[in-house]
């Protein structure tokens, strides 16, 4: 076998070995040291060292080396531009010192090269996407003068690019590990309510308030669009309160005709009106020692409002058609999807009742304002409906993105129904975007507008920075392009797009 063929084989084996080593684990120092050893064993490249740029100190530090002691490693630090290693990172191109003994730039900081003759020092940048993140250096011991360093540099550049990818992956891995730690810490200080999902700050505020008010008898009013969980929170307050063993009574003020409302709420005596064949308790009486939820309280007719106010203040009322004053011990929680203040200003809602209800206002945000909760809600409902239906349906990452992007006008209820339908109807195990209902995939009209105006905004910025650069460089396109990181072709294209042309005064 010829000399060069033998070397080529060794190069291939070395490359294979390096990628095996770097694929084995995320132990950065160990694997890079093993890589440097491979260079020595296969390629007569000794004292291989990997320097990485510390983003904070802007210093190059050896992270792994072969054939250097710990002390020598610790000494090996360079600033950008300092020594050969510092120059390589500054320029982003390789440097070769054919004979180490004759080079003044060669700082030999580690003090490791005693026998100087016959050693070339090769140094290549470690770059990722055009940015130098470190340097790889080796001592090439040449017994054989026939070999050109060009080939060595080429091999080292390949190895440096494998190392670059490994380092970037490693950094990413470290970041996610750190994030996981931070997340764990954050979760510790968080509030949770059974079967209520909400990790967003807005929901956490609500949960915290629930904990604070549950013990008291304070009136709470829940504001929120349809399906945001008002009833769920009302129940949570009740079941966390000292009245948990008492009844939870729900009444929707918008659900029955006005004429029947009073007797529904306060009950009636026998013969109070035609059809009242026997006495009947109203909701307030039924809720005694418990909690009553008055849903859609904004729909309470004006003539009934003083009676509610009286219950709140005096804890007493009379049944319809009755003389007897009935005393109750009830906690009231109100809920509404309407703007009560506005109803007050329009004279549709009594101001005194509004203030009496508005003691502890809680605002339940719509889902579109807490999108980070969507994946958690999806997971929660998938689990519930999979269990109910004895299935094992999951949602693909792309489908989840569609679910997160959608703006859910019906809020959690709409999401819950959507997931239930998907689980029940799905014949497959993984829901793909094609399986999702069509309306989820169409952008809402206002979003289209937003995206358009965002695009226009970005284009404005781009146009003016290109014009700036052109003016600063006296309309020399190549210079201007370099200034803002475009290629001459790109700037030409953009100039045409934005109608930018060299002013007549300059031509
Ligand atoms: N944070 C949440 N976590 C889990 N399930 C929720 C959450 N919020 C709402 N839900 C579920 O969504 C559905 C609607 O919630 P709820 O009835 O409490 O809303 P609402 O605000 O009272 O709506 P509406 O105004 O239409 O009466 C319920 O099935 C409820 O269990
Ligand atoms: Mg409700």
Q: How confident is the model at residue 184 (pLDDT cuts 50, 70, 90)?
A: low
Does residue 41 have a pLDDT over 70? yes
**Which tokens is 55 given?**
């983003």
Check if 234 has its Cβ closer than 6 Å to any atom of ligand 1: no
* Bigger pLDDT: 360 vs 182: 360
Distances (CA, A) of 391 to 199, 376, 429, 434: 27, 19, 8, 20
Q: From the CA of 364, give the closest atom in ligand 1.
A: 21
* Residue % of the chain over a pLDDT of 70: 91
Check if 229 has its Cβ closer than 6 Å to any atom of ligand 1: yes
Check if 228 has its Cβ closer than 6 Å to any atom of ligand 1: yes
- Give, using CA atoms, the residue closest to atom 26 of ligand 1: 226
pLDDT at residue number 507: 64
Q: How confident is the model at residue 102 (pLDDT cuts 50, 70, 90)?
A: low
**Which tokens is 28 given?**
């950065």
Q: Which long-range contacts (CB under 8 A, 24 or more apart) does 102-109 make?
A: 107/78, 107/82, 107/83, 109/75, 109/76, 109/77, 109/78, 109/83
Does residue 145 have a pLDDT over 60? no
pLDDT at residue number 455: 74
Ligand 2 centroid to residue 264 C-alpha, Å: 18
**Which tokens is 57 given?**
């100190």
Does residue 93 have a pLDDT over 90? yes
Q: How confident is the model at residue 104 (pLDDT cuts 50, 70, 90)?
A: low
Taking alpha carbons only, the member of 260, 269, 356, 270 closest to residue 308 is 356
Check if 219 has its Cβ closer than 6 Å to any atom of ligand 1: no
**Which tokens is 150 given?**
């060009």
Q: How confident is the model at residue 48 (pLDDT cuts 50, 70, 90)?
A: very high
Phi, psi of 390 (to 5 degrees): 55, 50
Q: Could you tell which of 226, 231, 234, 375 is best to mutate to test the pocket of ligand 1, judged by most ligand atoms within 8 Å of the CB? A: 231
Check if 198 has its Cβ closer than 6 Å to any atom of ligand 1: yes
| For residues 93-117, average pLDDT | 70
* Bigger pLDDT: 90 vs 110: 90
**Which tokens is 341 given?**
């203040």
Check if 231 has its Cβ closer than 6 Å to any atom of ligand 1: yes
Ligand 1 centroid to residue 84 C-alpha, Å: 66
Q: What is the mean pLDDT of the chain?
A: 88
pLDDT at residue number 442: 78
The answer to whether the beta carbons of residues 91 and 55 sit under 8 Å apart is no
CB atoms within 10 A of CB 83: 17
Does residue 241 have a pLDDT over 90? yes
Distances (CA, A) of 255 to 259, 299, 320, 340: 12, 9, 19, 18
- Give, using CA atoms, the residue closest to atom 31 of ligand 1: 232
* Bigger pLDDT: 408 vs 56: 408
| pLDDT, tens only, 412-436 | 999 999 999 999 998 878 999 999 9
| pLDDT, tens only, 365-414 | 999 999 999 999 999 999 999 999 999 999 999 999 999 999 999 999 99
DSSP letters spanning 233-263: HHHHHHHHSTTTTS-EEEEETTSS-HHHHHH
pLDDT at residue number 501: 86
**Which tokens is 111 given?**
């003090």
Question: Nearest 10 degrees: CA dihedral of 247, 253, 259, 262?
Answer: 40
Does residue 173 have a pLDDT over 80? yes
Check if 413 has its Cβ closer than 6 Å to any atom of ligand 1: yes
Q: From the CA of 224, give the closest atom in ligand 1.
A: 21
pLDDT at residue number 99: 77
Task: State the ligand closest to the CA atom of 373.
Answer: 1
pLDDT at residue number 497: 87
pLDDT at residue number 35: 95
- The whole-angstrom separation of Cα 480 and Cα 469 is 5
pTM: 0.57
- Of the given ranges (3-12, 154-163, 224-233), which has the lowest mean pLDDT? 3-12
Check if 337 has its Cβ closer than 6 Å to any atom of ligand 1: yes
Does residue 147 have a pLDDT over 60? no
Q: Which long-range contacts (CB under 8 A, 24 or more apart) does 254-257 make?
A: 254/295, 254/296, 254/299, 255/296
- The whole-angstrom separation of Cα 32 and Cα 34 is 5
Task: State the ligand closest to the CA atom of 236.
Answer: 1
């Amino acid at each position: 076998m010829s000399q060069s063929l033998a070397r080529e084989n060794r190069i291939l084996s070395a490359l294979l070995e390096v990628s095996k080593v770097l694929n084995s684990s995320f132990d950065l120092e160990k694997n890079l040291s093993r890589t440097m050893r491979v260079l020595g064993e296969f390629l007569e490249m000794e004292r291989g060292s990997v320097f990485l740029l510390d983003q904070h100190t802007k210093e190059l530090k050896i992270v792994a080396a072969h054939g250097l002691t710990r002390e020598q490693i610790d000494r090996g630090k360079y600033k950008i531009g300092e020594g050969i290693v510092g120059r390589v990172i500054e320029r982003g191109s390789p440097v070769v010192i054919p004979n180490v003994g004759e080079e003044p730039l060669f700082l030999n900081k580690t003090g490791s090269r005693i026998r100087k003759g016959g050693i070339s020092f090769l140094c290549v940048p470690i770059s990722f996407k055009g940015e130098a993140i470190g340097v790889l250096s080796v001592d090439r011991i040449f017994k054989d003068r026939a070999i050109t360093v060009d080939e060595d540099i080429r091999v080292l550049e390949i190895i440096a690019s494998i190392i670059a990818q490994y380092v970037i992956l490693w950094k990413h891995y470290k970041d996610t590990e750190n994030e996981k730690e931070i997340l764990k810490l954050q979760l510790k200080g968080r509030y949770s309510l059974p079967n209520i999902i909400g990790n967003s700050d807005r929901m956490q505020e609500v949960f915290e308030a629930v904990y604070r008010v549950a013990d008291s008898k304070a009136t709470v009013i829940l504001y929120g669009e349809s399906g945001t969980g008002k009833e769920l929170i009302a129940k949570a307050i009740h079941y966390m309160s000292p009245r948990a063993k008492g009844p939870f009574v729900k009444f929707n003020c918008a659900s029955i005709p006005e004429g029947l409302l009073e007797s529904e709420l306060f009950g009636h005596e026998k013969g109070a009106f035609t059809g009242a064949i026997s006495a009947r308790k109203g909701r307030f009486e039924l809720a005694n020692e418990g909690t009553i939820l008055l849903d859609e309280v904004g729909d309470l007719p004006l003539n009934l409002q003083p009676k509610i106010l009286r219950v709140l203040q005096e804890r007493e009322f009379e049944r319809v058609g009755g003389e007897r004053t009935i005393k109750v011990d009830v906690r009231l929680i109100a809920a509404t999807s309407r703007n009560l203040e506005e109803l007050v200003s329009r004279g549709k809602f009594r101001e005194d009742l509004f203030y009496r209800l508005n003691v502890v206002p809680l605002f339940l945000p719509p889902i579109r304002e807490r999108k980070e909760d969507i994946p958690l809600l999806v997971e929660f409902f998938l689990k519930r409906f999979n269990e109910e239906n004895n299935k094992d349906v999951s949602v693909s990452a792309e489908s989840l993105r569609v679910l997160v992007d959608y703006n859910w006008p019906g809020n959690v209820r709409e999401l819950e129904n959507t997931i239930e339908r998907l689980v029940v109807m799905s014949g497959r195990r993984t829901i793909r975007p094609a399986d999702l209902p069509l309306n989820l995939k169409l952008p809402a009209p206002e979003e289209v507008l937003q995206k358009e105006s965002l695009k226009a905004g970005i284009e404005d910025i781009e146009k003016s920075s290109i014009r700036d650069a052109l003016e600063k460089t006296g309309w020399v396109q190549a210079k201007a392009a370099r200034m803002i990181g475009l290629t001459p072709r790109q700037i030409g294209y953009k100039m045409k797009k934005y109608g930018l042309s060299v002013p007549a005064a300059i031509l």
